[in-house]
Amino acid sequence: MKKLSWDGKNGPLLIAEIGGNHEGDFAYAKRLTKLAIKSDVDIIKFQIYSGETLVNNLMSPNRFKHFKKFQLSKKQHIYLAEMCLGNGIKYLSSIWDTEVLKWLDKYLEIYKIGSGDLTAYPIIKEFAKKGKPIILSSGLSNSKEIKNTINFLINKNKKYKSKEFLSVLQCTSSYPTIDQEANLKIVTQLVNNNNITAGYSDHTIGSLALKSAYTLGAQILEFHFTDTRKNKTFRDHKVSLNFNETKELIKDLKRIKNLLGTNIKKPTASEIKSKHLISFRRGIYLNKNLERGTKIKESDLVCLRPNIGVDARDYKKIVGRKVKRNIKKLEKLIINKNV
């Protein structure tokens, strides 16, 4: 498996998660997929599960019924995968049952491990064996648990020592996530880990958290996607962006990318072209007329724009020198010529 670039078309890698927003309705799933394709994201994500392989019916009967209701068939999931890939959009799914890989793996370039499975080592082990890049969401977890899971992955497959093969997303598993619990500073911690690619999976209202996470260094942004939040009762719709909001997010991210620029500080092309390096900076001039042979004192100098002649940083180079001819106040000074 080749190393993966986590770069997106518009800056960060954008993952629009339809997830369970189709609520088990295949026709609706297709409509949402068409809309997400049109929005120009990088990846469209779903969730594949069956009640039997995810929830203990005896312990959590209501959750079991919920997941059974939201299931799509194998044929339907393959249709959606081919629909994405056929339109030049990567397909992704959180897979909660590794048996699904037998028929879905060929459509997946990346594996996504949801927050609830960060500690499900038997499941994670099966993904690690395959060796494809993994995106790991970190909702519900603490820093030690994240570190332990990363170490577990590396222990099972050395590929996951490389940030090209492993990404960790800051995430809070609350729907919606209140601002005080988004904890975007964790993105910075993840960025500082040289062995992973940092990202953010959003459950807040709106897109501000996504934009903020990008400015903090998140290379992957995941958000829920829907057509409308009106008259919807399923919780994920409430934290989803619609088509127009997604397009606006992309527009803003493009601008943010330009605003962020590079980490190399140097004069820009426009600063050079405008000659502001001269007009905005100060040079050294005499604050009085001096006759030939007069020794220049620091009190004879004034620091003014533009920076012509002697740079303000070089003022000490002319203090103590004798002027070589009569020099008028504010005249351009040239070392070894007139001073």
| Per-residue pLDDT reduced to its tens digit, 7-65 | 999 999 999 999 888 888 899 999 999 999 999 999 999 988 655 566 667 777 776 66
Spatial separation of the C-alpha atoms in residues 136 and 154, rounded to whole Å:
13
Query: Is the per-residue pLDDT at 241 higher than 80?
Result: yes
Which pLDDT belongs to residue 1?
A: 46
Which residue, chain included where needed, has tokens 């499941």?
123
| Per-residue pLDDT reduced to its tens digit, 71-120 | 888 999 999 999 999 999 999 998 888 888 899 999 999 999 999 999 99
Mean pLDDT of 145-159: 97
Mean pLDDT of 135-162: 97
Q: In CATH, which of 3.40.50.300, 3.10.580.10, 3.20.20.70, 3.40.640.10 is domain 7-260?
A: 3.20.20.70
Q: Which of 256, 255, 260, 253 is nearest to 41 (CA)?
A: 253
Spatial separation of the C-alpha atoms in residues 188 and 191, rounded to whole Å:
5
Contact in structure between 167 and 6 (CB atoms under 8 Å): yes
| Per-residue pLDDT reduced to its tens digit, 246-288 | 999 999 999 999 999 999 999 999 999 999 999 999 999 999 9
Percent of the chain with pLDDT over 90: 82
Query: Is the per-residue pLDDT at 4 higher than 70?
Result: no
For strand 310-311 and strand 283-286, is the pairing parallel, antiparallel, or unpaired? antiparallel
Spatial separation of the C-alpha atoms in residues 78 and 90, rounded to whole Å:
13
Spatial separation of the C-alpha atoms in residues 186 and 84, rounded to whole Å:
32
Backbone dihedral angles phi then psi of residue 317, each to the nearest 5 degrees: -70, -20
Q: Is the peptide bond before 176 cis (omega within 30 degrees of 0)?
A: yes
Q: Where are the extended beta strands (E) located within the chain?
A: 7-8, 11-19, 43-48, 90-95, 111-113, 134-137, 166-171, 197-201, 220-225, 240-241, 283-286, 301-304, 310-311
HEC string of 12-35 equals EEEEEEEECCCCCCHHHHHHHHHH
Residue-by-residue DSSP string for 230-250: TT--SHHHHTEE-HHHHHHHH
Distance of CA 77 to the CA centre of its chain: 28
Spatial separation of the C-alpha atoms in residues 197 and 204, rounded to whole Å:
22
| Per-residue pLDDT reduced to its tens digit, 309-336 | 999 999 999 999 999 999 999 999 999 9
What are the extents of the domains in the chain?
7-260, 266-339
Please tell me the CATH code under which domain 266-339 is placed: 3.90.1210.10
